[in-house]
Amino acid sequence: MSAEATNPVSAAEAAITDTGVRRRGRARLDLRRIGRAALLGATAGPAPRDRLPDAIGHVAEAHRAHHPDADLSVLRRAYVLAESSHRGQFRKSGEPYITHPLAVTLILAELGAETTTLTASLLHDTVEDTEVTLDQVRREFGDEVAYLVDGVTKVEKIDYGAAAEPETFRKMLVATGDDVRVMSIKLADRLHNMRTLGVMRPEKQARIAKVTRDVLIPLAERLGVQALKTELEDLVFAILHPEEYETTRALIAGPAGTGSTDALAAAAEQVAAVLREADIAADVLVRPRHFVSVHRARLKRGELRGCDFGRLLVLVAEDADCYAVLGELHTCFTPLISEFKDFIAAPKFNLYQSLHTAIAAPDGAVAEVLIRTHRMHKVAEAGVVALGSPHATTPDSTAPDAADPSEGFETAGDGERTDPTRPGWLARLLDWQQSAPDADTFWNSLHADLAEDREITVFRADGGTLGLPAGATCVDAAYAQHGEAAHGCLGARVNGRLAPLSTPLSDGDTVQLLLAQDTGSGPSPAWLDHARTPAARIAITAWLQAHPEAAHQPAAAPRPQLSVAADRNSRAELHADLDGGPPAPVRPAGCCTPVPPDEITGFRVRGGAVTAHRTGCPAVDTMRRLGRTAVPVRWGDAAHCRVTLVAESFGRPGLLADLTEAIATAGAEVVSATVEPPNEQRVRHTYTLELLDAAELPRLMKAMRDVPGVYDVGRTHGL
């Protein structure tokens, strides 16, 4: 990934450094000093075998801070190969090219990456830009390092032309599906290139910044690598929005921004005092906002002051301590309930866990507070980098106080830790990219997919779950669950109720997809208006292109309601027990059509007659609320009865005839039938039937349900 670098420190980076609000951490690598060290190494010969070359001293120091017992000999060998293969190559800034892989490796070392990732990072450009081959890397450093190097190596532009960039990202994402460390190296590589972008032509700076904004930053967010994401955001902000950036920089450097340091320090001391008094061991730190965060806060709140320029970070040992801290803060300060979020009980899909709250001090200053454990903080900052190798069962470090960031994640049956990002958004992305017919479709779909920054979980009727982006509809759920078989989806039940496929889904919904038995049916062009996921849109578009006659078929005109009726007067005998009054005619209520042996309740109606309702009919509760007195009613000896059934089905030719035949075969007579016009390929049939024996009703309903295309049969109920 030829880093077309420029000056070692960009204008955006210099501004961040000047304001003193950069992310705290180890001093940044001095590229000029390392460049000189690399040149000296070229003339003075290789370093002795018993120590590392001076040029990677920073990397070794950062790596040992996270992994005290790591074997650094492999890093030495990787550096020697990288330096010798890149010797004579220079970046556009004039620095020896080796400074780029060194800087990328240092970024990952500071985040806590394990030795294999750092080895691959040192070598990540050798196969692409030098005479070193992938087989050579595999022989000297093993399959894992070779896989990572291959994953971040660009495809040949001579083979792909204008599609080289999309196809390179497709290749990297597929490799990331098996090992997320591939994308970790790519993100660190892009961060260093963005830091050193200054002397490129403005139009090329803008192009690289836009790809970073639209693809790399969302990927960093989804992989949970906040430390890289926030700096990338600031660097992109400086290039694409220079005026807003300068305004924000001046605001941070001005009296309001510099004065925020004292306000945040005072708030931190107050919080620390409260926690000491409560005997809760905690570190209370001031966490300045980065440039983009300040800009967003200014747009949201208007004038910023005091604590608006940063947050307080409270770090504790155990999960339970987080809630203890929250309780103390809400007791001793005035909480802003609208700002409270619990990402510990419900973690974000990128592994992020923390409690968010805001408190008001007695002087009226409002401070946002983040509460998390040290382990949560490591994962929040480094994301998947903190997970190490997805193929290892133990952490790379054996330090006694090192928290295992994989703690709490599942382990696969073969002993390998399951990558927690794989089942969600990444799995969906890998599925739909296989169906993308060309680079443009993949590139546009990738942008659309990454633009969705929230995820919901819906439950399937069979007990499984589906992870979908926020705003997804039943169409998206159908293709997520059934793939191309979803072409025959004709409806859904959402939380037990029938719903059109256009229905948006919410977090926690239960969805049951209803598929037609006719395998020749396909999606409507209107489905594209409701599809939010690339998988659904690509599948629908492909089917419509393969069936152009369906895409241009005019909508059918509404059909009139079809009704047939027959004159039938026989009904099950009903009797009312009236105290001392004359006998009154009793008839079943049309709203619930009771039949023997239903439990029934009667009420007088106009004309002196009595209507009998099923006991559970909503009309019974309504009558009682109106003060109507119930009349005891009972069934007579006759077994025949009349009942109204509703059959819900998918529309298909011959359905009415098949239903009528099933009813006749079951020994029932049709008194009346109504077929409503189709609605989204679903048809509702209402039959009033005469049965010679009420005991045959369950068998009749089963026979109707067995008719192909019918998915529900029930008795009418309600008012």
H helix runs in 605-695, sequence order: 618-625, 655-665
| Strand ranges across the sheet with 586-588 | 586-588, 610-614, 600-604, 630-631
Q: How far is CA 149 from the centre of its chain?
A: 28
Task: Say whether 285 sits in a helix, a strand or coil.
Answer: strand
What is the spatial distance between Cα 118 and Cα 105, in angstroms, rounded to a whole number?
Answer: 6
Looking at the DSSP bridge assignments, the partners of residue 499 are 492
User: 46 in helix, strand or coil?
Assistant: coil
| Angle, CA of 644, 645 and 649, to the nearest 5° | 150
Antiparallel, parallel or unpaired: β 455-460 and 510-515: parallel
Single-letter amino acid, residue 665: T
DSSP 3-state assignment of 482? helix
Nearest to 600 by CA among 138, 77, 592: 592
- Pairing of the two strands 682-691 and 574-576: unpaired
Beta strand 310-316 with 366-373 is parallel
Q: Which of 53, 376, 386, 3 is nearest to 196 (CA)?
A: 3
Query: Of the residues 128, 244, 319, 328, which is catalytic?
Result: 128
d(CA 645, CA 719): 15
* Residue 129 bears catalytic tag: yes
Q: Which residue has the tokens 């295992």?
A: 404
β-bridge partners, 563: 674
The number of residues making up the chain comes to 719
Alpha helices in 513-641 (DSSP H): 534-546, 548-551, 618-625
Give the separation between CA 424 and CA 275, rounded to whole angstroms. Answer: 38
Out of 110, 114, 129, 658, pick the active-site residue: 129
- 609-612 contacts at long range (C-beta below 8 A, 24 or more positions apart): 609/584, 609/585, 610/574, 610/576, 610/584, 610/585, 610/586, 611/586, 611/587, 612/574, 612/586, 612/587, 612/588
Q: Which two tokens stand for residue 404?
A: 């295992």
Q: Are 673 and 564 in contact (CB under 8 A)?
A: yes
What is the identity of the amino acid at 128?
Answer: E
Nearest in space to 718 (alpha carbons), one of 614, 628, 635: 614
DSSP 157-223: HHHHGGGHHHHHHHHHHHHHHH-THHHHHHHHHHHHHHHT-TTS-HHHHHHHHHHIIIIIHHHHHHT
**N-to-C CA span, the chain:** 70
Cα radius of gyration rounded to whole Å, the chain: 34
Determine the Cα–Cα distance for residues 225 and 207; give it in Å rounded to an integer.
Answer: 23
CA distance 685 to 705: 12
The residues annotated as belonging to the active site are 128-129
